[in-house]
Amino acid sequence: MNSYQNYSALISELSQQLDLLQSAIAICNELAPNLVKDWQRSHGEIQEFFQSQIVNTSIEITSHDLSVQVEIDKQLKMLGVDLTMLQTARNPDTWQKRHQQACDRLTRLQRYCEM
C-alpha cells in the first residue's frame, strides 16, 4: 500500500470514529451531563488517534492534505471546548444551543475528512 492509500485509510478511520461520536451525541437532545463525560472521553481518544496516527507520522502528504489537517486539528480542539461548555450547561435552552454547536462541529469535521 503506498503512503497515500495508507493516509486515506487513516482519514477514513478518523471519519468512522467521528461518525460514532456524532451518532451518540445526536440521539441525546436533553440535559445529560453524565453522557457528556463519555463523549469527552471519546473525543479525547479521537484527538489522540488524530495526533499519533495522522499528524505525527512520516506519511508524505500533499499541501492540500496538510491544510485540511490544520483545519481538523482546530475543529477538534473547538469540539473539546463545545463539549466542556455542554457539560456545564444547566439551562435547557443553553444545553440545546451547545448541543447544536457540537453537532454542527462534528458535521464540519466529517466534511473535512471527505476533502
Q: How far is CA 23 from CA 42, 57, 58, in A?
A: 12, 29, 32
Please write the tens of the pLDDT for every residue from 57-73.
Answer: 778 888 898 999 999 99
C-alpha cell at 84: 466542556
- Domain residue ranges of the chain, discontinuous segments joined by +: 3-114
Q: If you average pLDDT over residues 82-108, what whole number do you get?
A: 92
The CATH number of the domain covering residues in 3-114:
1.20.120.330
Question: Who has greater pLDDT, 2 or 19?
Answer: 19
Which helix (H) or strand (E) is 90 found in, with range? none
Is the separation of the CB atoms in 50 and 76 below 8 Å?
yes
Please name the amino acid found at residue 49.
F
pLDDT category, 30, cuts 50, 70, 90?
A: confident
Is pTM, for the whole model, over 0.75?
A: yes
